Structure 1
Amino acid sequence: MTELNRKVASATRWSLINTVVRRVGTFASGVVLARLFFGPTEWGLYAVGLLVLAMLLSLNEMGVSLALVRWEGDIKRFAPTVLTLSTASSTAFYVLLYFTAPTVARLLGSPDATLMLRLLCLSVIIDGIACVPLAKLNRDFQQFWRTVVDILNFVVNTAVTIVLAAMHVGALAFAWGSLAGNLVALVGFALAAPGMLRFGWNRKLAGELYRFGLPLAAASLLTLGIVNLDSVVVGSVLGPAALGLYAMAFNMSSWPVRMVSETARRVSFAGFSRLAESPAEFAAGFTRAMGLVVAAAVPMCVVLGVLADPIIKFVYGDQWDGAAVALQWLVVLGLVRVTVELAYDGIAARKRKTLMVMQGWWLFSLIPILIWFAHVWGINGVAAGQAVVAGLLVAPVFLFVLSRMGIRVGDVARACLMPALGGIAMGLAAWGVHHVVGNGFLGLALGGLAGVVAYLPFVWPLVRSLRAKREQPTEPTPADDPLILAAAAPEVS
């Protein structure tokens, strides 16, 4: 392996550890909070806060921090200007949110969320400062230190949230916990990447940074709009209790996205950027990477879809069973998101402005369909609308753009064929065994185990091929590049 490959492989392993630890912990804490302290209404208020925070975080640093990952040269030369820009813009966005919070909360159908918004969104300013040392860690593939800091963030966040929930603070417990964790993370990132929190200004660099970052920030905002438009529709049309149920279903459907995409994306953009000038290697690496992330995501999506109702009742309790049908539709969206987010990073490395057009098409396709479906079928209709638009209107557009970049649709389809067939076999096996054994832990465990056994024969050749590539001591080829190693993260033990 080359030095770059070794760095990416190490970063991917730590990224996987980071993702697994935090997601398992988030799941466990969510179970505690949902069973003991909060119902759909409180969860809905928190979902409103997260929705607004996510929108602000997509724009707060105007995309300039990504230049720290993408640009060549000495990072210390332009990091001070990046820090100044990101901190100033983040503060401006928070001030705007503070004064408009009552109106925003009312428009989202949750006027009681005003204080939640003002408190939770202080994290925007923290993020504007922390994005610079964090980008330095990502640029250098220093995922070990990011893992340490992220886990500290999670521990503090969870502890504060649970303690305050037990003190009957209500949904504000989420906001205080998030703020405490983010402050710890800021200190941790500053220590892990010393010298990055130094303000400065270079007018020429600022112009170049904005020209680089604004297309990515706009595309990111559109992406967040796509992901969160459904919550806006549910909250404004159906109210906070329905939003709580929908948010629970969406969070569960996002497990595959978070486990697979977050692991790969911490290193994939940097890896894509290194290959951007070599179209042949880029295309070959991307195709194989797509097959790998699909192979990793399919098992979770299938199990969640086939066993949605018994999983929700077993994990969170009967009060959440209204989210089951929505979850079945949303896992379809989750699988599409896994593939689209990998494609997003690939396109961002070479055709940033194209992303805005693509994401705009996705967002504006969703608006009429989600509003219509929400009025007719409630949260189940919103979930179905998401899946229909993503699968029938958006995925073909991404495939078309990738084909214009030299990535053949047939090659991508062949890479995903065996995981898709394995998913069908897995679904049939899991459903059949659970139907025979029944509900409860035993039925879920045996159904899941039967599904895995049915799935393995379809993807085992892919696993063996990946291991063989790793053991080859030869110089890197298109099939042995950093992108593949990043996407292979779910196979790392």
Structure 2
Amino acid sequence: MDSVRTPDSETAEPSDTPAPASLGRKVRNAARWSLINTVVMRLGNFATGILLARFALGPAQWGVYGIAQTVLLVLLSANELGVGLAVIRWDGDPRRFAPTVLTLSAASSGLLYAALFVSAPAVAGLLGSPEASGVLRVMCLCVVTDGVAQVPAGFLTREFAQGRRMLIDAANFVLSTAVTLVLAFAGWGAMSFAWGAVAGNVAALVGCALAAPGTLRFGWDPEQARALLKFGLPLAGASLLALAVVNVDTMVVGSSLGQVSLGFYVLAFNMSGWPVRIISEAARRVSFAGFSRLADSPQALAQGFSRALGVLVAGTVPLCVLLGGLAAPVVHLVYGSRWLPAATALPWLMALGLVRIGCELAYDCLVATEQRRALLLVQGLWVVALVPVLLVGARLGGIVGVSQGHVLVAAGLVVPAFLHALNRAGIGLVPIARACAWPLLGGVAMALVLLAAKRLLGESTPALCAVAVAALVCYAVCVLPGRRILLGSRTVETA
């Protein structure tokens, strides 16, 4: 695959393509910091969610928050028209075209927010939550701050500077959590999430600007702008479709089943995202930059992708099986008895979470290899198939039916489509199957042990701890034979 050409490609310095060993060290170091960052932040968010769900907010308020969060994520997927990724992917000195990227990103974000501000009452009403209008107008201010932060954040990702990103995310978390908790316990309801998100995003913008000095500089070059839009618009479209995939269910549940059911569903979906956020987000902060550096070597790319997928699946499977198999007792223990209806959807959403991890890594790989048309087709297929299936699922089975529909479409249709697209990019099925076989086998064995042990020991807290330990030991034994495949040679270095 040829490198992406830009107006500045001819000026690329040799140092823009680091030596393989240097790249390997950068990727490993960045992945380590990214994992620490993600784990710490997610544990903090987890604790905050428990406090809010137990003592401050009910299912209906969580439903309003779920609507606002869905709209925000959809807008964030396209707020900078995809041009921000050029800072990470394009050859040459990014400071030459960064001012044009910043201008495009800030302008498109401002226009998006203006459109949302005007249409907020109609959007909230369409999604079955008219009272979410004010929350939408406040929370979606994050679109503007995120658009401005795209350039400095892109520089940090390009340089694998995940240590600095951890400090920025920590400031974001501390400020947003403090504001949210204070307002929630003062009776602000779902609006507390909105102002907390805005405060955290402002802190992140300031942090990115300080960590990447000199990058917040506006400018305009028409030739660069045309090249950036040609590069970014297909990616923005693919990103919008990707966000639609994981948020259309919220719209379906909210409009079909009401705010209370939506509150239960949002809680279950957030729980199912724990493994995805902890493991997948940590990997994705370095995966796109890493795959971009390997894109010119199909063999190295195939090795890097299959190994990365194997490691992600190996780390995610036990978390998914435990949360899915112990859904009701975990929800009861963590959030209290009034949230138990959320547990009915959780096992299916955990299966979806496992599928999402593989699909998100494939997404990054296809973007890095410029398979944008294939990516758009796969994501479009996913959305088109998902909407009618979720509507039928909501009518027949409530939030459980929606969850089952998600899994049916993802596993039965989307995974084969992604495998076909990866094969066209030079990544065959055999190395992928070899990397995932032992973790998936271990997951099946773990689920069987979990179910059998629950029947024998019951569901008291000590019994559940013993069940979890026994299941994890079983998984470790099953995965052990595949450790050489997962840990094999450091392919990034030997590429």
TM-score strictly above 0.5:
yes
- Which range, TM-score by smaller chain? over 0.9
1:302 maps to a residue whose letter is: V
The question of 1:2 aligning with 2:21 is answered yes
**Larger CA deviation: 416-425 vs 87-96:** 416-425
SS at match of 1:201: coil
Is 2:192 the partner of 1:173? yes
- The alignment status of 1:442 with 2:459, answered yes or no, reads no
1:463 is displaced (CA, Å) by: 4.0
CA distance in 2, matches of 1:466, 1:412: 11
Q: Identity percentage over the alignment?
A: 53
What letter is aligned with 2:427?
I
Code of the aligned partner of 1:103: A
Q: Is the 8 A contact 1:366 1:389 kept in 2?
A: yes
Shift in Å, 1:343: 0.7
Unpaired runs of at least 5, structure 1: 479-493
In 2, distance between residues paired with 1:149 and 1:89?
24
Match in the other structure for 2:86: 67
TM-score by length of 1: 0.94
Correspondences of 1:243-392 after superposition (within 5 Å): 243-350=262-369, 351-392=371-412
The Cα offsets for residues 349-382 of structure 1, whole Å up to 9 and x where unpaired, read as: 1112221111000000011111111112111111
Report the alpha carbon displacement of residue 475 of structure 1 after superposing the two structures with TM.
9.3
In structure 1, how many angstroms separate the alpha carbons of the residues matched to 2:488 and 2:248?
43
Provide the rounded CA distance (Å) in 2 between the counterparts of 1:192 and 1:332: 38
1:436 Cα deviation after fit: 3.1
- Preserved contact between residue 241 and residue 379 of structure 2 (Cα < 8 Å): yes
Structure-to-structure mapping, 1:92-491, within 5 angstroms:
92-350=111-369, 351-463=371-483, 469=489, 476-478=493-495
Q: 1:487 maps to what in 2?
A: none
CA contact (8 A) 2:435 2:486 kept: no
Q: Which stretch has the larger CA shift, 1-10 or 136-145?
A: 1-10
Whether the 8 Å contact between 2:160 and 2:286 is mirrored in structure 1 is yes
CA shift at 1:417, angstroms?
0.9
- The alignment of Structure 1 onto Structure 2 pairs a total of residues equal to 475
Unaligned segments of structure 2, at least 5 residues? 1-19
Per-residue deviation at 1:5? 0.8
Counterpart CA distance in 2 for 1:304 and 1:348 is 31
Aligned 8 A contact 1:314 1:440 in 2 = no
Kindly indicate whether the alpha-carbon contact (under 8 Å) linking 1:81 and 1:205 is maintained by their aligned counterparts in 2: yes
Q: Counterpart amino acid of 1:195?
A: G
Computed over aligned residues only, the root mean square deviation of the Cα atoms, in angstroms, reads 1.4
Rounded Cα–Cα distance in structure 2 between residues aligned with 1:284 and 1:467: 12
TM-score of the superposed pair, with normalisation by structure 2? 0.94
Work out the CA distance in 2 between the residues paired with 1:193 and 1:410. Answer: 41
Q: CA deviation at 1:465?
A: 5.9
Tell whether the 8 Å contact from 1:11 to 1:141 is kept in structure 2 after alignment.
yes
Letter in 2 for 1:245: F
Distance 1:74 1:475, change over 3 A: closer
One-letter code aligned to 1:41 = A
> Partner amino acid for 2:441?
L
Q: 1:476 Cα shift?
A: 2.9
**Preserved contact between residue 116 and residue 175 of structure 1 (Cα < 8 Å):** yes
Residues 429 and 134 of structure 1, relative CA distance in 2, 3 Å threshold: same
4+ runs of 1 displaced by more than 6 Å? Answer: none
Q: What amino acid sits opposite 2:493 in the alignment?
A: P
CA distance 1:55–1:468, change in 2 (3 Å): closer
Q: Deviations over 1:287-331 (max 9, x none)?
A: 222211111110111111111111111111111111112111111
Contact 2:142 2:198 in 1 (8 A): yes
Measured in 1, the distance between the counterparts of 2:223 and 2:467 equals 60
Contact 1:432 1:447 in 2 (8 A): no
CA drift at 1:414: 1.9
Separation in 2, partners of 1:134, 1:172: 27
Of the three residues 63, 66, 73, the one matched with 1:54 is 73
Asked if 1 retains the 8 angstrom alpha-carbon contact of 2:23 and 2:493, the reply is no
